[in-house]
Structures are given as structure tokens and as C-alpha cells.
Structure 1
């Protein structure tokens, strides 16, 4: 008889094909301030409370392990209940890396804001290292009176490194009706991603989405932001609803950040009544 030793125990949270982890955040109104009855980190997500800003609750996502790697299945669920104000950021950039095999990773973010709630999703950039393969989604459900500020930055490859592959989808519903549904794909294997109709040789892309009922009374106009195309440019576009989207491309993360900071300043200057827009990340 041959004795077969039992398989080695997997690392906590990690399966044969990667980590399965879901982090949950819930913000609600308690008295005159927003409280956090649910702050449940998991896997690579360690959630920390930050000092509040007025009545707003603030949460920082801290990476507890390298993620996402190929094969990982990661998810964050954040809810700002009626009247709550929730600001979410991250301690550092997220680095997508190649896993032990060719399996892709997924990183899904689901945001929900109730009536008169305010939700900021403002993490540090996502860096897609060479050889990585990531599929990322944002699904946002807003009540008609909710406010949203969503900012995302993607950097394709580290310094001197070929880019990884990333496919993204952003879906925003307001009052149950679709406000925005868009997809993008960059990196090796994505048709035409580096051509003049997409990134035109740039290695950083990002966007800033503002949803605020004040836009119903103060509509915006299309604006082009930035200098020469070689240094990166952004375009501010009003959406068919009380919202506006800024899309930016740049040679690197620093210039991309400058473009998106300029866009936020443009919002504050143009629409002073949009209470969800202010400085800081």
C-alpha cells in the first residue's frame, strides 16, 4: 500500500487559481455625522477609518498582500445610505501583476448611493505591470438625488517596462436608468489600443465622472483641457443627465494626474454649487 501525503494547505484566502476576496463598506447617518456600521476587509483589502471631514466618513484601502495577481477574483462593495457622505481612497497605487499561469484577474467595484447621499471613489492609480492581465469593472447605482465623484487612473507598465493588458467597464445607473455604460481595453491583444484613435502612443489614461443634481440647472459645455497632444490632453463632456465626464490620456502618470486635477479645479470654478466637488483625494 502506498501512502499519499495530504496536499499542502493553501495560504489564507488564496485558492489554487488565486485569491477570492470581497470587502464591504456601509455608511449611514448617525446624529449629525456619517458612521460606518460595516467596515469589513478581506484578503488583500485592509480597511482603515480616516479622520472625518465635517459630516463625511472617510475610508482608506490598504493593500495587505500583492494583488491582483493572475487568477485573483477581488470585489469591493460600498454603500452610502440615505443622507450619508462617504469618501473612499487608497494608501498606495494598485499594482496588477502576472500570476503563476496565464489566467486573468478580476477586480470588481460595486458602489451604491441612496437619496441625498454623497459618494467619493478616489483611489490611487492602477499600474498594469508587464505580463499582467486584468479585467476591472465599476457598477454604480445612484438614487435620483445622490451625488457621485469617481476618479480612476491607469498606467500601462512601470518605468521602462512593456504594458500589461487591462479591460475595463464602467456602468452607472441613476434612478434605475442607465446614465453611462462604456468599455475600454488597452495593452497587448487589444486591437488598435496604441493607435491614433485610442492612446496615440501614451501610456496613461484616466477619467473623472461627476454626477450631481446641480447640473440640471447649470449644464456644462464641452471643453478641451491641457496643452499639446504630446504632453497629454483631456476632454470634458456633459452627459445626457446631471453628469459630466472627463477623459484624459497622457505620456505618464504624473501628467495624467495634473490633467485630472485641472479638471476638478475646472468643475469647482464653473459649478460652485456642486457640493461634491472639492480638492483632495
Structure 2
């Protein structure tokens, strides 16, 4: 299956945000949700079909213009499934751009790597100087009581033309040592938040015993947590995301 989805958020010139483009194809269906007051807009990804499955080629594009505020979420976790063994790995490519003065909060539900899956997730984010970003990715290694499938995640975040975050993570049978001390340390879930732009204070994150907050050399913050289940990861990341200054910018978006 091949599917594309695209959302474009731009200022409406009256202190709010409008969506001139909001389109998707199953399983990447997009819906505007939440209140229509304030300066920002919330969009949810709705899964229109099972998967991703082997052979699927999915692409999501997000564009936030100057003065626009967009929060992107999903209604449920994404479940990577095996599919037919002779097909290539499923692939989801996410490309996001944020203009100066724009704000993007990317907070989807976790990706679950079901046993036998083979999935590649590629993320490319480009934020202009003066733009604000909060980007979260959570991964659960297998459903309850089963082994993890294979997932390879490749993420790059650029701010003001400089790469501030570049990370690759592989889990599953094809990644020897993935559950060892050098990677997840026996954990079954991992989550990361990358924050950059106005309002991000590297000293504001207070990680727990299985988490770390690291200032990024080129500016911004990386907050990462590992746990035996997603609840432990969420206990660290949820409070930070809820209190990050990008949440307040919804009502402060300039015209």
C-alpha cells in the first residue's frame, strides 16, 4: 500500500491559524480536532487501515508557516505488523518544516513493534530560526508477552540551517545487542523529546532514574526515557510536554 498525507498550517491574519491543506489517504487520515478558539489548531492522525505492514510505503508532510501554531497528535498507537515475508520492510517517512514565528508540537501515540514486523521510520524536521518545536517519538518493543519486531528509526532535526539532533535506533532480532546496556538496558519502551527554539530551557527538564536530559550542542534539549512499559516512559515525558512553553503559545500566536 502507498499513501500520502499532508497538512499545512498558516496564520489567518487575525491571530489564529487556518489549514489551507489537510488531506490524507488510508491509513493516513487527518482530522482537525479540538476547540476552534485561541491562536492554534490541533490535528489528529486517524488510522484508516491496519498496519503499517511489510510493503507499505507511507509519507506524511507537515508544514507550519509564520505565525501559525499546530499540534499534531494521533488517536491511537501505531502497530507495525509482519505482513508477507517476501515483501520489503514497511516505511514511514515524516517530513516537517516550521517557518520563523511558527510553532509545531508533534505528539503522536507510540509505535508498537509487533513480533515479526520489519519497519523503517525516517524523520526529517527543518525549523527556521525563530520557529518553535516540540517533537516526541515513543517506541514499544513488542505487544504484551511477545518479542519485539524489527524497527529502524532514523531522525534528523535541523534548526536555523544547523543539524541539532541526529539519531538512529534499531531494535528487534536483526539488531544484535539492542536490549543490552549500551542501548535499552533491558527496557521494553523508549521515548524521546526534542525541543528547540524560543522558550526551550535546557535546565527545565527534571529526569528520573531511567531518563536523561541533555542540552544539544547547537541549541535545544533532548529528553529521553527508557522503561519496562510505556507508562514509565510517559511518567517522565508527559509532564514536560504539557508544561513546555510551546503549549502556551497557542493563545499568544501573533496576527
Shared fold (TM-score greater than 0.5)?
yes
* Inter-partner Cα distance in structure 1 for 2:224 and 2:130: 24
Please identify runs of 4+ aligned residues in structure 1 that moved more than 6 A: none
- Counterpart residue number, 2:54: 70
- Counterpart residue number, 1:82: 66
Q: What value does the CA root-mean-square deviation take over the aligned residues?
A: 1.7
Distance 1:35-1:246 versus aligned 2 partners, 3 A rule: same
Distance 1:185-1:125 versus aligned 2 partners, 3 A rule: same
Tell me how many residue pairs correspond in the alignment: 245
Q: Does 1:61 align with 2:45?
A: yes
- Of the three residues 97, 101, 117, the one matched with 2:85 is 101
* Matched ranges for 1:8-23 at <5 A: 19-23=1-5
- Counterpart residue number, 2:98: 113
* 8 A contact 1:213–1:242 mirrored in 2: no
Q: Structure 2, unaligned stretches of length 5 or more?
A: 249-255
- Of the three residues 207, 211, 221, the one matched with 1:225 is 207
- Counterpart residue number, 1:47: 30
Instruction: Please give the TM-score of this superposition, normalised by the length of structure 2.
Output: 0.91
Kindly provide the CA deviation profile for residues 52-94 of structure 1, in whole angstroms up to 9, marking residues without a partner as x. 4621111011000012101101010000011111111001000
* Inter-partner Cα distance in structure 1 for 2:222 and 2:24: 30
* Inter-partner Cα distance in structure 2 for 1:212 and 1:277: 13
Instruction: Please give the TM-score of this superposition, normalised by the length of structure 1.
Output: 0.83
Structure number, greater radius of gyration: 1
* Cα deviation, residue 219, structure 1: 5.0
Q: Structure 1, unaligned stretches of length 5 or more?
A: 1-18, 228-232, 269-273
* Matched ranges for 1:1-281 at <5 A: 19-30=1-12, 31-51=14-34, 52=36, 54-102=38-86, 103-215=88-200, 219-220=202-203, 225-227=207-209, 233-264=210-241, 268=243, 275-277=245-247
* Inter-partner Cα distance in structure 2 for 1:53 and 1:136: 34
* Cα deviation, residue 32, structure 1: 2.0
* 8 A contact 1:214–1:242 mirrored in 2: no
